[in-house]
Chain A
Amino acid sequence: MSLNALVIDDEKSMLFILSQVLEGEGFEVETVSSGREALNRVEGRRFDLIVTDILMPGELSIRGLIESLEEAGQTAPLIVISAYWDSSMELRAYLEKKAYACLKKPFDINEFRRAVRRAIRKESRT
């Protein structure tokens, strides 16, 4: 049975690039372009990996998204991608605690691939 990944980003190109890499790693990938859509998508389902950009259109912040995912019982490892990695130490500390990995844009796809592999290995051990 293949693994399921949910990718959240408002850039269609980023969704395409991330999906290509994830599919190469054997995932079945679903993509959404906002946090709100992501919450609708996870309802009653379990994903093996969630990848999200830090900033998306809509009223839901990254903190709001993470808290809502937790409330919905999603325990999938989270990989956060951000252009704002240096902007807020408070947010950085929060994401370091909550996310499995945080990648700064622009990132190398091998860096992303390594983070995905580590996340899945960790998940299969727990």
Chain B
Amino acid sequence: MAGNASTSKTARAKAGAARPRPSGKSAPGARAVEKNILNSRDYREEFISIISDELRTPLSIIKGYMDLASEGILGPVPEHLKDPIDQSKACADRLSRLIDNLLHISRLESGEAHFKFQSVSLHTLIYGTVAGFAKQMKKKGLKADVRVAPDSPLVLVDEEKMREVAAHLLRNAIQHSPMGGRIRVAAGPCPAGRGKKPKGPQRASSVRLCIEDEGEGVAAGGREAAFEAFRQMENPLTRKNEGMGLGLAICKKVIEAHGGAISLRARKGRGTAVEAVWPVDPLSVRSRQGD
């Protein structure tokens, strides 16, 4: 079994052992390592590497064994163990998301996140993301009202990061929705001011994505704080929902990196709507602004 193998990985790397670094370059000597640790940027990278390897590797082993057990590959699973195994798998997935979110916010805040822009259909982006949540929605008896305007333009985005944004917003909406509630997802062009559709052949300059739930809403004071990392809207001692309050902070950073803005409309007890608006072509907007 794994034993202490996973705990020794970072220690070996830190000690300047011959273990290759992620870049594939040789590890520097002890003196260089000391210098690097004093350099805050390298320290951040070291921190990220430690989180990546030291948490993800043992987590993949836990998840792997749980997967094997639930499929009966390790032997027949007694009925009374099926639910505990499923719960353990769900917890491993939750931990995995927390690690991913920590890494994402760390990179986005330090400006070290890389964006790979490509042309993507808004339909594919939205319907693809919603489809991935069918199981969770069914579990809560939620209905999804998804509308992507047929005249939606192709958008130039980092597809992976924009899918994460849509997934964060949808996951939040599911989490905060009451059983049997409805989630509204609306996306489409918005060229001249929020919510306005283009008239005639005019080409949309921006698009919007709005995800609305029928949950408990947010009190007035919490709307701005909702986009701050590690800020939870609920009392930590009584809160019902999981997470570290990173989802919306990540969404804000990603949307801003696309030259857009994100806002939240909510009233206590009357549901929440989060709307992101960003340019169809963030790169040309940037070049016009002389970035």
A and B pair up: yes
Residues of A within 8 A of B (CB): 10-14, 16-18, 20-21, 24, 54-64, 81, 83-84, 86-91, 94, 104-110
A88 lies within 8 A of B17 (CB): no
Contact of A84 among B22, B96, B104 (CB under 8 A): B22
B53 lies within 8 A of A106 (CB): no
Which residue of the partner chain A has the closest CB to B71?
A109
B5 lies within 8 A of A59 (CB): no
Nearest chain B CB to A12 CB, angstrom units: 6
Cα distance, A90 to B178, chains bound together (Å): 44
Cα distance, A81 to B23, chains bound together (Å): 15
A108 lies within 8 A of B24 (CB): no
5 new A-B contacts, CB < 8 A, other than A13-B64, A64-B20, A81-B60, are A11-B5, A57-B12, A62-B20, A104-B56, A107-B63
Q: Which residues of the other chain, A, contact B21 by a CB distance below 8 angstroms?
A: 61
B57 lies within 8 A of A105 (CB): yes
B56 lies within 8 A of A106 (CB): yes
B19 lies within 8 A of A17 (CB): no
Does B136 count as interface, using CB distance less than 8 angstroms?
no
Does B134 count as interface, using CB distance less than 8 angstroms?
no
B57 lies within 8 A of A17 (CB): no
Nearest chain A CB to B62 CB, angstrom units: 8
Residues of B within 8 A of A (CB): 1-3, 5-6, 9, 12, 17-26, 45, 48-49, 52-53, 56-57, 59-65, 67-68, 71, 73-74, 92, 96, 103-104, 107, 114
Q: Which residues of the other chain, A, contact B1 by a CB distance below 8 angstroms?
A: 12-13, 16
Contact of B23 among A20, A90, A110 (CB under 8 A): A90
A13 lies within 8 A of B65 (CB): yes
B61 lies within 8 A of A14 (CB): yes
Contact of B57 among A11, A64, A89 (CB under 8 A): A11
Cα distance, A56 to B17, chains bound together (Å): 11
B3 lies within 8 A of A12 (CB): yes
A91 lies within 8 A of B23 (CB): yes
Q: A13-B1, A13-B64, A55-B53 are in contact. Are A89 and B19 (CB under 8 A)?
A: no
Q: A61-B20, A90-B23 are in contact. Are A11 and B2 (CB under 8 A)?
A: yes
Cα distance, A94 to B23, chains bound together (Å): 10
A10 lies within 8 A of B96 (CB): no
Q: Which residues of the other chain, B, contact A90 by a CB distance below 8 angstroms?
A: 23
Q: Which residues of the other chain, B, contact A89 by a CB distance below 8 angstroms?
A: 114
**Which 3 interchain pairs have the tightest Cβ spacing?**
A61-B20, A106-B60, A17-B64
